Amino acid sequence: GLGVGIVGLPNVGKSTTFNALTKAQNAEAQNYPFCTIEPNKAIVPVPDRRLEALAKIVNPDKIQYSTIDFVDIAGLVRGASKGEGLGNQFLSNIREVEVILHMVRCFEDGNITHVEGDVNPLRDIEIIETELIYADITQCEKKIDKLKKQSKGSKDAAAQLEVALKLMEHLGELQPVKTFEDLDNEHFKALDKELRFLSNKDVIYGANVDEDSLADGGNKYVDELKQHAQEVGADVIMLCAKIEEELVGLEEDEAKEFLTDLGVEESGLEQIIRTAFDKLGLQSYFTAGKIEVRAWTIRKNTKAPQAAAVIHNDFEKGFIKAEVISYEDFVNYGGEAKCKEAGKLRLEGKDYIVQDGDVMHFRFNV
Ligand code: GDP
């Protein structure tokens, strides 16, 4: 469940965005031979300039980035929770992901039909988010029926039932799970863990604009979307999906020039990937050797032995110590040997919480 699901009404630019992500996957595919390619899933490298800075010092054969999964969840339309379109099947696909990338149409184009007749980001968002709430209502109702039976013999079930009924009232007002007042209640947490409420997931809005609006830094639709996102505490990332698709096909310096001409610092797709990585609660530590300079993905607040297990289970089992150099020291002093001389290499034990950007070397018993 570590992925990002792309949702949105038809014709808003989901496929175009997903194609760009797939191209980004394929550009790196030789580095990820263990990944099977699935039609609706893209395993996308997380851009991280720090890896390039490390590589300048170490001169490795290759660089390997952290990755995250994006899943294309097409077909969400008005009435989906009642079985319209592809119906419930893909609502369950959304259940599996941890973060939602909600693509919103913020471009006008008379040639491309809008299923609701005109461009209106806030209405579009409401349609999708209401479907997610309906789906949660269905789940919650089923659970309540079960809990009613169980609660006669179980105090725990009775307590959970009480919370579920309260949540049901909240959902009945078409409010998302996210704004439920008892999010910290342990019984709610158990419900959420089991049912994976759709309206409780972190959302990133992808504001899909045309080329002109991108160069102008936005348009009135993006403004509306940003205002809304601020109210609900979500992120908005503006992109032109069509341009993103072209960008991933270019060499790095060509892509840079293209963006500079548009007056844009970082591509929207890169911003989406980095934001998603952070929302997933992930961070990277690095290993820097001659064979490869590589980012390893861990959850925030992971301790050294569990971080080591991402490389190999034996590293955790036989863990002795971790040699750690901060990214800044590694770059400022110019590599491991110089860091050692300067006393910048630390030996850390099994309770050490790995920091984002740590350059690590594990000592372990075989
Ligand atoms: P989906 O149904 O949400 O997957 O939407 P698509 O990605 O298939 O896009 C629908 C249509 O909109 C296609 O013809 C795209 O070429 C077009 N489109 C996507 N992004 C943009 C954009 O940024 N600007 C314009 N003008 N058209 C776009």
CATH number of domain containing 320:
3.10.20.30
- Tell me, in angstroms, the distance from the centre of ligand 1 to residue 16's CA: 6
pLDDT band at 276 (very low <50, low <70, confident <90, very high): very high
pLDDT of residue 80: 75
Instruction: Give distance in angstroms: CA of 315 to centre of ligand 1.
Output: 47
The closest residue, in CA terms, to atom 14 on ligand 1 is 112
**Mutation test of ligand 1: which of 128, 242, 245 has the most ligand atoms closer than 8 Å to its C-beta?**
242
Domain that holds residue 205: 4-47+66-117+201-279
Residue 271 and residue 230 in one domain:
yes
The pLDDT tens digits of the residues spanning 12-58 come to: 999 999 999 988 887 776 666 555 556 788 999 999 999 999 999 99
In the chain, pLDDT over 90 holds for what percent of residues? 78
Q: Which atom of ligand 1 is nearest to the CA of 240?
A: 23
pLDDT of 88 strictly over 80 = no
Quote the percentage of the chain above a pLDDT of 70.
95
Model pLDDT for residues 170-191, shown as the tens digit of each residue:
999 999 999 999 999 999 999 9
pLDDT at 115: 83
Number of separate domains in the chain: 3
What average pLDDT is seen over the chain?
Answer: 92
- The reply to whether ligand 1 has any atom less than 6 angstroms from the CB of 115 is no
Q: Mean pLDDT over residues 65-88, rounded?
A: 78
| pLDDT mean over 82-104 | 81
Same domain, 138 and 95: no
C-beta of residue 114 within 8 angstroms of C-beta of residue 11: yes
**CATH number of residue 15's parent domain:** 3.40.50.300
Claim to verify: residue 21 and residue 102 sit in the same structural domain: yes
Domain membership flag for residue 255: yes
Does the pLDDT of residue 219 top 80, yes or no?
yes
pLDDT score, position 224: 97
The predicted structure's pLDDT at residue 263: 86
Q: Are residues 310 and 241 in the same domain?
A: no
Note whether 211 and 190 are same-domain residues.
no
- Selected residue with higher pLDDT from 85 and 165: 165
Burial class of residue 341 in the structure, from the number of CB atoms within 10 Å of its CB (0-12 exposed, 13-18 middle, 19+ buried): exposed
Q: Per the domain annotation, does 165 fall within a domain?
A: yes
Q: Quick one: 182 and 34 in the same domain?
A: no
pLDDT digits (tens, 9 = 90+) for 121-144: 999 999 999 999 999 999 999 999
Helix then strand then coil, in percent of the chain rounded to 5, is 50, 20, 35
Is there a domain that residue 248 lies in?
Answer: yes
Listed ranges 67-76, 85-94, 248-257, 330-339; the one with the highest mean pLDDT:
330-339
Distance (Å) from CA 11 to ligand 1 centroid: 6
Decide whether any atom of ligand 1 lies within 6 Å of the 60 Cβ: no
**Contact 242 CB / ligand 1 (< 6 Å):** yes
What is the pTM for the complete model shown? 0.91
Q: Return the pLDDT at 240.
A: 96
Contacts of 64 (CB under 8 A, 6+ apart): 31, 32, 292, 293, 294, 295
Write the ipTM: 0.93
Residue nearest to atom 18 of ligand 1 (CA): 13
Residue 89 has pLDDT above 80, yes or no: no
H helix count then E strand count, the chain: 15, 12
Q: Alpha helices of the chain — where are they, by DSSP H?
A: 14-27, 49-58, 88-96, 121-150, 155-172, 186-195, 211-216, 220-232, 241-247, 252-262, 268-279, 304-309, 313-317, 327-333, 336-341
Give, as one character, the DSSP assignment of residue 84.
-
Q: What are the tokens at 236?
A: 């908005």
Q: Indicate whether 160 and 309 sit together in one domain.
A: no
